[in-house]
C-alpha cells in the first residue's frame, strides 16, 4: 500500500460479496460454512478500509430477492447476521466505525433489535462508515424514493429520499466470484463507479485482494462523462 497515496484511495467502496455458497460446495461443506467464512471477511475488509483512509464501505449483504432462497438458508443467514451485529459491536467501536443499514429491513423483531442496538451504539463514531445493504434492491430503492415525492424534482431532492441519503456515490464497485453484473445493487449510486471484477470468491477476498483492487483503481482516469 506504500505506493498508493491518499489521492488513490476511493472515498466510497461498494462490494457485491458473491461466492459464499459456491466456495462451500467446492469444498464439500454446507452452505452455512461459506456464509460464516464470508462474515469473517467483512470484519477483515472493514478493518483494512478503516486503516487505509476509505470513508465509506457499502456491502451487499442480503437482497430483497434472497427471500426466495430455502427457509433453512434464510434462517441461518439471519442467525449469522444477528451474531455478527452482537459480537462485532466492540470491534466496530474499537476501530471507530459507524454502522448504517440500507434497505427495507423487513426482519423479525429479534433481528431488528440487534440492528437498532448496533446502529445506535456506533452512531457517535467518526471513522469509516460501514453500510450494510439488508433486504435491499436498487430498483426498489428508486421506487420507494419516488413514492415519497410528487411532481418534478431535482436530482438533489430525489437523493434525499434514498435509504441512506448522506452517503455519497460509490467510487469503486467490487464484485467477487467471477460474475460481471451489478445485480440490482445501488443503481443510483453507481452511475459513475469504476468497476472491478475478480474471480476470487468472497471468503477468499483478503487484504491482498483488496490491495489489488485499489491499485487497479489508482490507474483509472475518472471522466464523469467529460472529455479529458
- Please count the CA atoms within 13 angstroms of the CA of 180 that sit on its side-chain side: 6
Catalytic residue at 18? yes
Question: Which of 18, 95, 135, 171 is flagged as catalytic?
Answer: 18
Catalytic choice (66, 93, 125, 184): 66
DSSP reduced 3-state for 206: coil
Give the Cα separation of 60 and 73 in Å (integer).
17
> Which H or E element spans position 101?
strand 98-102
| Neighbouring C-beta atoms of residue 174, cutoff 10 Å | 28
As a residue count, the chain comes to 228
Spatial distance between the Cα atoms of 11 and 139, rounded to a whole number of angstroms: 24
What residues are annotated to the active site?
18, 66
Amino acid at each position: 500500500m506504500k505506493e498508493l497515496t491518499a489521492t488513490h484511495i476511493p472515498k466510497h467502496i461498494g462490494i457485491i460479496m458473491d461466492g459464499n455458497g459456491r466456495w462451500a460446495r467446492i469444498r464439500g461443506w454446507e452452505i452455512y460454512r461459506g456464509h460464516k467464512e464470508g462474515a469473517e471477511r467483512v470484519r477483515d475488509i472493514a478493518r483494512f478500509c478503516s486503516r487505509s483512509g476509505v470513508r465509506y464501505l457499502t456491502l451487499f449483504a442480503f437482497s430483497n430477492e434472497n427471500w426466495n432462497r430455502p427457509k433453512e438458508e434464510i434462517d441461518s443467514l439471519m442467525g449469522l447476521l444477528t451474531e455478527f451485529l452482537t459480537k462485532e459491536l466492540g470491534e466496530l467501536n474499537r476501530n471507530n466505525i459507524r454502522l448504517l443499514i440500507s434497505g427495507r429491513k423487513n426482519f423479525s423483531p429479534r433481528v431488528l433489535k440487534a440492528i437498532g442496538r448496533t446502529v445506535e451504539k456506533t452512531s457517535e463514531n467518526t471513522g469509516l462508515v460501514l453500510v450494510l445493504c439488508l433486504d435491499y434492491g436498487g430498483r426498489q430503492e428508486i421506487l420507494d424514493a419516488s413514492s415519497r415525492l410528487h411532481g418534478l424534482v431535482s436530482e438533489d431532492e430525489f437523493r434525499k429520499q434514498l435509504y441512506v441519503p448522506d452517503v455519497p456515490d460509490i467510487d469503486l464497485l467490487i464484485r467477487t466470484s467471477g460474475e460481471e453484473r451489478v445485480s440490482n445493487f445501488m443503481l443510483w449510486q453507481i452511475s459513475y463507479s469504476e468497476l472491478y471484477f475478480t474471480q476470487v470468491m468472497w471468503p477468499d477476498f483478503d487484504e491482498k485482494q483488496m490491495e489489488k483492487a485499489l491499485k487497479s483503481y489508482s490507474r483509472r482516469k475518472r471522466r464523469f462523462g467529460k472529455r479529458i
